[in-house]
Amino acid sequence: MKKIFIPALICTTIFFTSCSSDDDNNIIGGEDQINVPTNYEFEREGVSTVSYGGQTTRISMAKELSDAFTDFDNLTADRLTNMFSNENTPFSEGDLNSSSKSIKSKVAASNDYFSLNSTGSAAVKEDFESWMNAQFDEVLANQNVAATSGVAGQIAQGDKTRYVSAKGLEYNQMYAKSLMGALLADQMLNNYLSSDVLDEGDNIVNNENGVTEERKSYTTMEHKWDEAYGYLYGDTSIPTSNPMSVLEDNSDKFLFNYIRQVAADDDFENVAQATFDAFKKGRAAITVGNYEVRDTQADIIKENISLIFAVRAIHYFQAGKESIAAGEMGAAFHELSEGLGFMYSIRFSQNPDTEAPYMSASELETFKNELLDGNGFWSVSAEKLDEVSEAIASAYSISVSQVD
């Protein structure tokens, strides 16, 4: 079976035997000068240069908003959208309410995909707000009603209760899985790891001369790379220097949690470690001004993070198909809602070879509409779920059979 990704680094300092001309590639330090640390630890004059507080703040906001979807005792018409835009002190933590940051401001807001596409950005934000409004308008009123085809309400999944729309869609799952693409991946892959952002203005000259941001220990280029890092490892339960130490024991709900789940599949077992190693090596390359190596590591990260959406979408569509066949509709609706959210996130992926998503937004929107056509998940066919799964697998050059 096909194995994905480069081997994990196995020692602290890696030596390479070939490097290109510094003049040709604007490289100060050749590959033989790149010291890759064991942990994500970088200092200047004894002070850490790693900082990504804004990413931690937005992840905390996103987690609380996710939980609020089914907090029916406190759900109001405006609560979810207020949390989305951080207006009217919606959070339980004062530090989040007083923050100048919000989830909405960074959704579909990357340099590569949306700087010249304000219409597309607005449409994505409207999608999120529509799911939030529908949770109040459709689901809250029917929280004690048994869900049936065409009727929103509750449905059992073992000892759990799921709350679904008239089409069987869990809006909270659609929000959470789609946000991994629209916020976390879009900012990581298509913004902070973009060469246009990393090399903007005087970033290269300042990085090569050790010119740091005002009253900060880091150069702008170093900080941009760390902000990308924060969108994967920024949950408060994940230690900055060695996130892999808590891969199996953390409270993250987003990308770090799901890169672990992808890595649990033998066919993609190295994805989590290879991604961490690429972040370390890319950051170390910035330190010595080797931007060719930096960009190679960025491409590895783009490929690996993008793959999460494909593998988990296929996994959940196939699991949902099996649950429907077994008559376990509560489980099926939960799985299909997760799958639909992960599929939505594919539009924010980036294929390093094409510098575009692995599947277009229009293609993904067509599949979404087909899956929700008529009575939605109540009547979706096994054939349609297989068709969508195969299309995703083909776009990523993997197979459905590889996905556990």
DSSP state of 62: H
Spatial distance between the Cα atoms of 331 and 73, rounded to a whole number of angstroms: 24
Residues 6+ apart with CB under 8 A from 93: 60, 64
What is the 3-state composition of the chain as percent helix, strand, coil, each rounded to the nearest 5? Answer: 55, 5, 40
Spatial distance between the Cα atoms of 287 and 294, rounded to a whole number of angstroms: 10
Q: Report which of 128, 131, 257 is spatially closest to residue 183, judged by C-alpha positions.
A: 128
Average pLDDT rounded to a whole number, residues 167-189: 98
Place of tokens 């330090």: 29
Q: What pLDDT does 1 receive?
A: 36
Q: What pLDDT does 295 receive?
A: 98
Mean pLDDT, rounded, of the chain: 93
pLDDT digits (tens, 9 = 90+) for 193-226: 999 999 999 999 999 999 999 999 999 999 999 9
Whether residue 18 has pLDDT greater than 80? no
Spatial distance between the Cα atoms of 121 and 2, rounded to a whole number of angstroms: 36
Q: Report which of 197, 301, 281 is spatially closest to residue 29, judged by C-alpha positions.
A: 281
- Write the DSSP string, 329-379: HHHHHHHHHHHHHHHHHGGG--BTTTTB-SS-HHHHHHHHHHHTSTTGGGT
Q: For residue 343, what are the CA distances in angstroms to 160, 180, 265? A: 25, 11, 19
Using a pLDDT cut of 90, give the percent of the chain over it.
92
Q: Report which of 87, 39, 86, 88 is spatially closest to residue 60, judged by C-alpha positions.
A: 86
Q: What pLDDT does 33 receive?
A: 83
The model's pTM is 0.93
Q: What pLDDT does 15 receive?
A: 32
Sign of CA dihedral 389, 395, 401, 404: negative
Higher pLDDT pick, 122 / 8? 122
Beta bridge partners of residue 164, listed in sequence order: 153
Q: What pLDDT does 269 receive?
A: 97
pLDDT digits (tens, 9 = 90+) for 291-334: 999 999 999 999 999 999 999 999 999 999 999 999 999 999 99
